[in-house]
Structure 1
């Protein structure tokens, strides 16, 4: 995957890559929470616990970030990198 394609994939997942790791943008948080709700609806215990937390709890952002990083990584691997 070319650098431009990688950057586009990061943006699709609401992520940026910095020296210290990934940063999750609001768009990525929202996408992660949609995925978390779908997981909760399928009975995923971790998603159930995370969505039960207050919306201001930083663990929700961390969970959404993990979801989006995993989705980004899956896309990168499928693209042949």
Structure 2
């Protein structure tokens, strides 16, 4: 994956890379929340618990950030790097 494709993937997953790691954008939070709703429908108890939190709860944001990082990492892995 070249740098431009990597940046596009970060943007697609709603992540911004910083010196401290990845930060989640609002669009990333919304996308990850939809993925969490899908996990909840599949019976995932952690997703159920996290989605019961207020959208402004830092723990919910962290959970969504982890979902976005996992999706981004999977995309990078499958790109053949």
Q: TM-score range by the shorter chain?
A: over 0.9
RMSD (Å) for aligned C-alpha atoms: 0.6
TM-score (norm 2): 0.97
Give, in whole Å, the separation in 1 of the partners of 2:15 and 2:69. 8
Per the normalisation by structure 1, the TM-score is 0.97
1:56-78 deviation per Cα after TM superposition (whole angstroms, max 9, x unaligned): 21111001100000000000000
Structure 2 CA distance, aligned partners of 1:50 and 1:65? 12
Deviation at 1:52, TM superposition (A): 1.0
Moved over 3 A (4+): none
* 2:62 alignment counterpart: 62
Which moved further from structure 2: 60-69 or 48-57? 48-57
* 1:40-55 alignment runs, 5 A limit: 40-55=40-55
Distance 2:5 2:73 in 1: 13
For structure 2, the 5+ residue unaligned runs are none
Kindly state the Cα deviation for residue 55 of structure 1 after the two structures are TM-superposed.
2.0
Count of residues paired in the alignment: 81
CA distance in 1, matches of 2:63, 2:20: 18
